Structure 1
């Protein structure tokens, strides 16, 4: 007898979701016992790591990844990571186990009240009304994850897998191809805005992080001869950051933002929100005389944008068409704009080879920058050192920089594992603070067990440095939280089976990086370097 489980596996094969990330409980055992040889199960030791690794896999491949979650406890543990997947626009299908359908009405032990547990973060959620509807629900979830680039949930009672499947017409398309043409009228509108501008600038964001979009944007920028800024708190790089037209990262403070945008009479955001803020400051986003426009493929981003014109379009096709329409123009100079934003620095500027005392975080990043391969993927989770990382480690390839768009911690380590598994030819480096690394340190076990050759560089200062900095900005005095210098990330990594070393001083750092980085693409085992850095950062 062909079962619902058999039919569901066929859907997973057709949708390319043959790697299953999970941390199973009893409600998933009927699905996973005797898994077919062509389906691969990857165990993570916490649901945040499950979804984090699946998110990395999806971002690396541009296709939906599958995460298995265990009823209320599993989905509840994963909600923060699902929120990050949504904000990072990662296509993800989360299959959530539920108690046996036949006695759900009595609310037996492990019954989950699951429908609203993840809030508004899923792009779709479905509880199939019958067991026979489960395969179709999985196909619909995969399509929704692709089209809306976020997590789609399917909630499945555990007895459904053994139910007989029905041979019915396909409940969802096997393949769904979205429209990929750019509206010629919208292209003309934006071209007219650019033609009217004397000093335009572009702001790019995570929506542009793909090879074809980078190529089209580069062609457009080289005709416009204008500066390109990265959105503030961008989770992905929207443009090659070593390009001569790259100006830097926008500040998230509104008054500084107006200062940076003052030289421009038109700011066109492409694949980025207009304009991302952090702490509230009064006043307009842009200075008087600066017009704002947006091109995006995200309807939600379009409808909330405070702009005079917004176009909803597939970005590579729109940018290519726009580049073909705009005339070649002379370059516009915006004096000192990049300097004011702290846009770039040479690695040598931060490195003090003859300095005394503990390493500064910037010195560690400079040493890494001088050795890292151009095609490496850098995953960032070091809030207090992020400006230095941006300045010293520009993204030189699509997907060269990844971070958590939600701002929550626990992304970098599991996502690094998923990225390397999804794109095994690319070197992968996660840079995390010690406080950040603790959130999903369990991901190191998955890396070690499955032979995932990621390098994890932990900037260890034994405290929450960014919170200490924020406390200083709010009237001075220390925060209520203590430091934690006794925590050993290298010790935790070793306990999880991951090779690790504590690094103190410049000579030891250079020795470890010179050993690890030239062979990073070939590594088949993870390595964690816990680098002692100054308490000042």
Structure 2
């Protein structure tokens, strides 16, 4: 039987080891997915946001592109928010989007996708619409490279009849079979950074998601030791760029300019590594930093380098620069006192006390394995989580850099699938969990041993807080028109999706279930949801 475009496409995916397919299929994908070859693994999610969320977690944990398959207009539209999150989280994804039969697209039949590239914009780093069926395999190969190099979703839009068309065996793929990157830093660049830091009396490091790998952590620890300086994590960072239990780790930068200037006051040189300069949230007037403070940034993200208001920007892999830089710098004298923060865990609450988020985080911090991956989506209590539960290993913390909800639960499932050697815990608010609760079905069906801790207060606490603050500023009452949703049972929803769940209402219950679950979390072969009632 002659080889088809589908056969050639599978061969391309095999070349890159991309044989795990995350999907919520529709009719335009039937010709691709029916009778899938035995060496491909199909992972079903019950909503397209969960498809992309799981693929995002998998890609970030595996550090290579994951493959997501979406239905035409409606499916792609459902996934747009998750695609935007993947773009900001710099997750490499190859996204196959179905399209109606090419032979009657001119008549705009039912399910015809109109301007699908615009539906997804501006999330994709690249969009391919092969002009003929035989160009589909080459578009997939290019998408894999585009996704990996630009760290985001690369889309390939494929009409459903293309898969069964004959392949073009005599034409080369329009993409390299192998692409090699140079990672060494130029000596003169390292010398310039050495001069930047050597001339400073009180330098400080700021680290971010772009430095979350073992080599960068090692280089940054050596650099911090040479400089004897505090190390701050970027605000709203998607990943940790430094061990947060290190004695020189100072905490997370504030996201407003006034507090940022206070934190960096007295430092005459700021070196940001794998982090933006500087991530903000509320709009505040004034300078980012005080006069007399110089800023340099080292990043492998061209966009991050191009938009940074810095005196010096170096576009390079952080480890390749910071390792040689640490070797060139002389070690400074030890400071007179500690430069980092201390973590004081609150005492366990009295028996029968209503749980609060800090109680949950303290109990988790006392038991969380060092190599655990913590996936976070609890907006109202995020600062508490940062203060009490440090990331102690690369990929130890993962969050949605873009800020959209519905990330943590599917991402945690994807992380665990890609890294079954790591314990994975998702900590989410009950409001956040409802945006992608369907991912629990996939976790249960495929035996993914992830622990999901839901802080259940029956409301959007962060929105209530923002409304109250707005009322204070505007001399209003801060009255919010949205109601609470106390009647929603996350544990009930989880069980309805086939996922084991327990309702936890007391400190004794919380400590008991964590003591029971944590020791075997790395070997767990089924998920568990803890629906933890917390005080408002």
State the partner residue of 1:420.
416
Report how far residue 334 of structure 1 moved: 8.4
Report how far residue 344 of structure 1 moved: 4.8
- The 3-state SS of whatever aligns with 1:490 is helix
Does the CA contact (< 8 Å) of 1:43 and 1:50 recur in 2? yes
- The 3-state SS of whatever aligns with 2:21 is strand
Measure the CA separation in 1 of the matches of 2:500 and 2:123: 36
- The 3-state SS of whatever aligns with 1:518 is helix
Does the CA contact (< 8 Å) of 2:137 and 2:173 recur in 1? no
- The 3-state SS of whatever aligns with 1:241 is coil
State the partner residue of 1:345.
343
**1:463 matched to 2:459:** yes
Report how far residue 170 of structure 1 moved: 3.0
**1:383 matched to 2:397:** no
Report how far residue 185 of structure 1 moved: 1.7
State the partner residue of 2:449.
453
Measure the CA separation in 2 of the matches of 1:271 and 1:379: 20
Does the CA contact (< 8 Å) of 2:348 and 2:363 recur in 1? no
Report how far residue 327 of structure 1 moved: 1.4
Report how far residue 296 of structure 1 moved: 0.8
- The 3-state SS of whatever aligns with 1:179 is coil
Show the 5 A alignment for 1:44-443.
44-113=45-114, 114-167=116-169, 168-332=171-335, 344-347=342-345, 350-354=346-350, 357-443=353-439
Q: Deviations over 1:357-403 (max 9, x none)?
A: 31111001100110110000000000011011111110000000000
Measure the CA separation in 2 of the matches of 1:351 and 1:97: 54
Runs of at least 5 residues in structure 1 that lack an aligned partner in the other structure? none
Change (3 A) 1:132 1:467: same
Q: Deviations over 1:319-351 (max 9, x none)?
A: 11211211111245688x86xxxx55332xx23
Change (3 A) 1:142 1:524: same
State the partner residue of 1:3.
4
Measure the CA separation in 2 of the matches of 1:57 and 1:333: 44
Does the CA contact (< 8 Å) of 1:226 and 1:331 recur in 2? no
RMSD: 1.2
Structure 1 runs of 4+ off > 3 angstroms? Answer: 331-335
Does the CA contact (< 8 Å) of 1:344 and 1:391 recur in 2? no
- The 3-state SS of whatever aligns with 2:415 is helix
Measure the CA separation in 1 of the matches of 2:428 and 2:244: 21
Does the CA contact (< 8 Å) of 1:248 and 1:344 recur in 2? no
Change (3 A) 1:220 1:411: same
Does the CA contact (< 8 Å) of 2:372 and 2:422 recur in 1? yes
Q: Deviations over 1:200-258 (max 9, x none)?
A: 00100000001111111111111111111000000100011111111110000110110
Does the CA contact (< 8 Å) of 1:263 and 1:334 recur in 2? no
Q: Deviations over 1:134-168 (max 9, x none)?
A: 00000000001111111100000000000000111
Runs of at least 5 residues in structure 2 that lack an aligned partner in the other structure? 472-476
Q: TM-score, normalised by structure 1?
A: 0.97
Measure the CA separation in 1 of the matches of 2:418 and 2:342: 30
Measure the CA separation in 1 of the matches of 2:283 and 2:84: 22
Report how far residue 169 of structure 1 moved: 2.0
- The 3-state SS of whatever aligns with 2:374 is strand
State the partner residue of 1:520.
521
Does the CA contact (< 8 Å) of 2:348 and 2:507 recur in 1? no
Does the CA contact (< 8 Å) of 2:134 and 2:166 recur in 1? yes
Measure the CA separation in 2 of the matches of 1:105 and 1:331: 73
Does the CA contact (< 8 Å) of 1:183 and 1:313 recur in 2? no
Measure the CA separation in 2 of the matches of 1:419 and 1:150: 17
Does the CA contact (< 8 Å) of 1:97 and 1:158 recur in 2? yes
State the partner residue of 2:474.
none
Measure the CA separation in 2 of the matches of 1:89 and 1:159: 32
Change (3 A) 1:198 1:270: same
| Deviating more after overlay: 353-362 vs 146-155 | 353-362
Q: TM-score, normalised by structure 2?
A: 0.97
